[in-house]
Amino acid sequence: MTRVRAQASVLHLDLDAFFAAVEQRDKPSLRGKPVIVGGVGGRGVVSTASYEARAYGVRSAMSTREARARCPQAAFLSGRFDAYRAASTAVMALLRSCSPLVEPLSLDEAFVDLERADLPDLEVPTVTAFAEDLRLRVQEVTDGLTASVGVASSKFLAKIASELRKPDGLTVISPGTEIALLHPMRVSVIPGVGPATVERLRRIGVHTVAELAAIGQEELVSIVGKAQGASLHQLARAEDDRAVVPDRETKSVSVESTYEHDLTDRRQMESIVVKQAGEVARRMRGSGLSGRTVTLKVRLYDFTTLSRSSTLPAPTEETATIARLARSLLADLDTSGGVRLLGVGVSGLADWVQEDLFADDSDDSEVPEEAPEPASEPDQAGARPSDVHWAPGMDVIHATDGRGWVWGSGKGVVTVRFETAETPPGPVRSFRVDDPSLARWRPPAPEPPEDQ
């Protein structure tokens, strides 16, 4: 049984501070400055911090409130996923031009199997030169984003390697040196070992990978469970023969939202859940999926999180069906203390057999109107999602001043900085939020990728 490959032929690529780097690329005034992308509302968290912001201790998953306290001078932006997706698509296309076996892990990360790349051999000097060239080509296709790359004899070690010289670095682990590198490290370097597992291991005196490797598999299983015990037993020995798998299938589709103020009105909760069901259904139809299990997620005022699910006899992608089920699941829950998050998801997915290629994918079915939507509109007090209309960072265009982006908004005023990736930092001007000469600007739709 193969434990690892004899050569360093798995590559892991990770774009550095990805969301923040895209913002700095497109907004020249932010280059060299702390930039924080994430939820900008009172309950937001940091998604990505630029390295300048990390110097102040700002980290992913930290609450935005704390990030503001640590680095008040940072630009706080709510994120432009179309731009991130476009950059990601360009990088993934580059990787797929190198090898047919590319496994994206997220927008900013992927494995590449070099055994299927067109290289003369897989010796360390060859893969090193290839990886350095690849990093340069990433910068070319993304107009300047940097990537960190690791190359090793398995997925596990390639991922660890890419972390070692961030940002903008390359690490190749020579075959045969894996254990010497790995064993002194803390167990938390192992993907899948988070705070709960670190604590369990700490209680039996295990802190490093070497100490982990010294534990018997039975003891490990008794502490962390069957699957994780078996996995840790192998990874601690640098044993990993998982294949690079392209085209992993989607297992679930979901939408959730945390509200600035806890919800208490059942009618309002129902109307939100119905809207979310519609969004899930729309996305499912967009990717040709349908599913049998509908799940409602509710986070209460005290952060306890509940889920309730119900499985249909046959798959659906219809708004009305998903909405009806979600609403009936909500009906069984006690939400009297207040609700901070609501979400709707569908799992148990099957490919959608498209009966008629020319059928339009709209879904006009009506949701039974037992709970009419509260009169008027999204900004009902307490129901406003964390991201408001003029979100910081959003691209805008002004009738006479041209293109810029939203610096901030409040008190009926939007502040815009006029600049683009190509034009130097420009003036900052303020407008009334309802100024008709100001509009959201969207980049031209990217070419849909060839497959999928």
Partner DNA sequence: TCTGGGGTCCTAGGACCC
C-alpha distance across the termini of the chain, in Å: 34
Candidates 125-133, 340-348, 404-412, 420-428 — which segment interacts with DNA by CB under 7 A? 340-348
For residue 217, what is the enclosing H or E element?
Answer: helix 217-224
Residue type, 328: S
Window 174-193: contact mask with DNA (x via CB under 7 A): ----------------xxxx
* Residue whose CB is less far from DNA, 340 or 417: 340
Q: Catalytic residue at 109?
A: yes
Given strand 10-15, what is the order of strands in its sheet?
Answer: 102-106, 109-113, 10-15, 147-152, 170-172
* Residue whose CB is less far from DNA, 390 or 431: 390
Interface of this chain with DNA, residues 368 to 407, rule: CB under 7 A? 385-386
The runs of H, that is alpha helices, within 287-397 are 319-331
**How many positions of this chain bind DNA (CB under 7 A)?**
59
User: Are 326 and 312 within 8 A, CB to CB?
Assistant: no
Candidates 41-49, 128-136, 206-214, 409-417 — which segment interacts with DNA by CB under 7 A? 41-49
Q: Which of 50, 257, 319, 321 binds DNA (CB under 7 A)?
A: 257
Residue type, 133: D
Q: Which of 118, 247, 302, 334 binds DNA (CB under 7 A)?
A: 302
The runs of H, that is alpha helices, within 43-143 are 51-54, 64-70, 81-98, 124-141
Which structure tokens are listed for 230? 């078996």
Distance, CA of 272 to CA of 381 (rounded, Å): 14
For residue 233, what is the enclosing H or E element?
Answer: helix 226-235
Q: Which of 63, 126, 264, 415 binds DNA (CB under 7 A)?
A: 63
Minimum CB–partner distance for residue 230 and DNA (Å) = 8
Candidates 142-150, 235-243, 252-260, 315-323 — which segment interacts with DNA by CB under 7 A? 252-260
* Residue 36, helix vs strand vs coil: strand
DSSP 189: G
Interface of this chain with DNA, residues 348 to 367, rule: CB under 7 A? 348
* Residue whose CB is less far from DNA, 128 or 309: 309
Q: Which are the catalytic amino acids? A: 109
Contacts with DNA by CB under 7 A lie at 38-39, 42-45, 47, 60-61, 63, 65, 105-109, 190-198, 225-228, 248, 250-258, 283, 292-293, 302-303, 305-311, 340-341, 343, 345, 347-348, 385-386
